[in-house]
Chain A
């Protein structure tokens, strides 16, 4: 009788009579004298053995049944229900494309509930790791302990959240335990390094979530093989107006003090000289990468240019008047639900100390982060300040004011930050402030960002 085993990210078939081949895609591994396939072949192999009524024993899968019932009462929006139905029609395997802010996680929570078996959720960042922990704990905390793998946590349970980086390293140890794999921001999966993750998992069911499946390197062509085909697709235009709240954008110019202006001019001169000397122009994040590369490997002046570029940014970000302006805004919106965004982790801690408002960065422990966001939701905290951790796909419902202190010019980041505020709420009109230091590069950055968000009502 054929026996299937799981071994370090692979599937082993043993007990075959000599001369017999197990079904595709097993190959003979002469190194260890075994028939071996990637663990991801499990679904196909199981179906084929069952289909042909071949007697076999499955010692590979160590999935657990979970009786899960979400305790968060949530009426799914019609498109969320459609997305889930489409995924089920595709035999619980495929990618759901929903715009930021449309509640991708709600779809995943329902999927996990429906499958009712051990599940692994793979996410790109530590911030998302913590957010998913919080969501799953809210939904299923009564029936299971939610596990965390990555960012200093190593607690694997039948419902575990991990990062792509940690899964790359550890999936081979736990790849037999999960029946369902959920890939958040699934466009990260086809990256050359990450694609091996799904190969190490037996998981016969998989769900990929993203707002933007396309990859510049064409890697999205691999998605059908790694997770399944796109089974549902909804674009931001389909949602605008109906589910996304309108908001006002208020740009507040902040002038540098005389001292700051002087220092800025100095740093600017060094930086510009270097760009000119090396025929560089910096208009996009890619250009910036190129500048870093040239400066880091340049024999003369590269180091100085890097320092000047950093100093320039520091002056922009840390302008004295910015702090005073922020204080004003906090006063004005003390009775609103307000989130302050800044690029710098140190600035989060400095402002948290200064205004005694809770700060969230990638360093914040999962439990505390959940507590802060819960209290913010309940209204016990009025304002929170966060570094980039609240970016990609991270959920902060019911904020109606956001203040951006310094942001990079990334198109995606900006759209997704807006998404945070655009949570639908009865009669709500959100306000987005952008504090931009004048006569510096930030003006250009802010303009470019707005230009790239056409299509969303401003």
Chain B
């Protein structure tokens, strides 16, 4: 994430357009690569040295990019590299003990420690340093005095990105920076967008949502608890952290009301904007989907599905009281138009199971018919499973049989 002073955007006709660098611009990639080199070359060096080198390089690299804003661009890129760096203390000695000892010795003298030995043979600064050197076995106590300052820390790890990845990260970071001053965010999810993923980030960022259905899908109004008493920019940071989550899926478009340099403006983006997320996504979403795929195949092969039709889920069941929404894996529709939902948990932790069951219960309370099928594989035994959810689960072993689902449907 960038600091506000790194954020750049222009406003045209009430729209605010975040600054962007092109990944096909050779100069840009060269400069990104040079900055990566600079960081990598400072492994084991103190932070102050890296910062001095950066300040020097930015004077040369900045104008090559942009006469006016080049410095800020270079600084912003460096800030994003900083997120990939780890630092460690330069010494095993305790600087606090060393300096405190020196201060005490100096304060006990009848006059300030002399810079040089004089005729009157007063205690000199060197005398005190030698004394502490003997006490601590440090060669140069004055060098250790403030070794615990940030500036003295050594660069221990640098996770070097490809120049292109850095530029892509920069473009997202600038859009995020504009969102820092957003009062709200409206997201339109198109057909096929992963609503479950979106709600994962809505919940993670503690945002409050309002849901509407549109002709193409869903519209989410996002802000925070206090927003209802008049727009506040307090949730801008969270909206900014939400954005890379949204970038993991497609298609969508968004618009945000932002206060840019004291004026109201609108930020508009969509899934074609060329922004690439650096989030990995929630773990469940990254796991292979064999269980669901196998279930769909088994359903297609099944001779009798009791008149129920299976659709991959793109439906959202809003649960405003829980500040969440359930996005079931599948919707089931019967000949008679009855509707039920099926949620499958292939891999799960006890916590994710309990969370999911809470959502399912709340959805049931609101009159939705929801089945929850959970795998007994992995560490889970039947007992822990039914204990965790009070038997409201259709358990399955390697694969979920349509028959088990149909039976549960009649019981529900």
Contact = CB atoms under 8 A, between A and B. Distances in A.
Contact of A331 (B99, B112, B150): B112
A38 B102 CA distance: 53
B25 interface: no
Nearest to B48: A346
Interface string B141-168: 0100110011000000000000000000
Contact of A31 (B125, B209, B229, B234): B209
A356 B96 CA distance: 13
Contact of B226 (A200, A330, A352): A200
Contact of B125 (A299, A356, A383): A356
Given A168-B234, A303-B71, A363-B150, A32 B105 contact: no
Nearest to A381: B107
A173 to B, nearest CB: 10
A36 B206 CA distance: 16
Interface in A18-54: 27, 29-34, 36, 38
A10 B320 contact: no
Contacts of B71: 303
A32 B150 contact: no
A62 to B, nearest CB: 17
Contacts of A331: 111-112
B104 interface: yes
| 8 residue pairs, one from A and one from B, having the closest CB atoms | A356-B106, A8-B225, A31-B210, A10-B225, A358-B103, A32-B320, A330-B112, A356-B102
12 contacts: A7-B225, A8-B224, A8-B226, A9-B225, A10-B226, A172-B225, A303-B71, A331-B111, A349-B146, A352-B99, A356-B125, A358-B99
A382 interface: yes
Nearest to A193: B233
Given A355-B113, A357-B103, 13 more contacts: A10-B225, A38-B226, A196-B232, A297-B68, A303-B71, A330-B112, A331-B112, A334-B111, A354-B125, A355-B125, A356-B125, A356-B128, A358-B99
B162 to A, nearest CB: 30
A380 interface: yes
Interface of B: 59, 67-68, 71, 96, 99, 102-107, 110-113, 115, 125, 128, 142, 145-146, 149-150, 206, 208-210, 221, 224-226, 228-229, 232-234, 237, 320-321, 323
A302 to B, nearest CB: 8
SS of A interface (majority): mixed
A59 interface: no
Nearest to A359: B146
B334 to A, nearest CB: 30
A38 B107 CA distance: 54
Interface string A377-414: 00011110000000000000000000000000000000
Given A36-B225, A327-B112, A382 B107 contact: yes
Nearest to A168: B234
Interface of A: 7-10, 27, 29-34, 36, 38, 168-169, 172, 193, 196, 199-200, 297-299, 303, 327, 330-331, 334, 349, 352-358, 363, 368, 380-383
Contacts of A27: 228-229
A156 to B, nearest CB: 18
Contact of A381 (B103, B150, B206, B234): B103
Chain B CB count within 10 A is highest, among A7, A354, A356, for: A356
Given A30-B210, A363-B150, A36 B234 contact: no
Nearest to A169: B237
B107 A352 contact: no
Given A353-B142, A356-B128, A299 B68 contact: yes
B104 A380 contact: yes
A53 to B, nearest CB: 28
A172 B206 CA distance: 11
Contacts of A354: 115, 125
A31 B228 contact: yes
A29 B226 CA distance: 10
B338 to A, nearest CB: 26
A31 B208 contact: yes
B321 A33 contact: yes
Contacts of A29: 228
Q: Which of B142, B146, B210, B234 has the most CB of A within 10 A?
A: B234
A303 B72 CA distance: 12
Contacts of B233: 193
Contacts of A199: 226, 229
Contacts of A10: 225-226
Contacts of A383: 107
A363 B99 CA distance: 15
B303 to A, nearest CB: 44
Which of A27, A32, A330 has most B Cβ within 10 Å?
A32
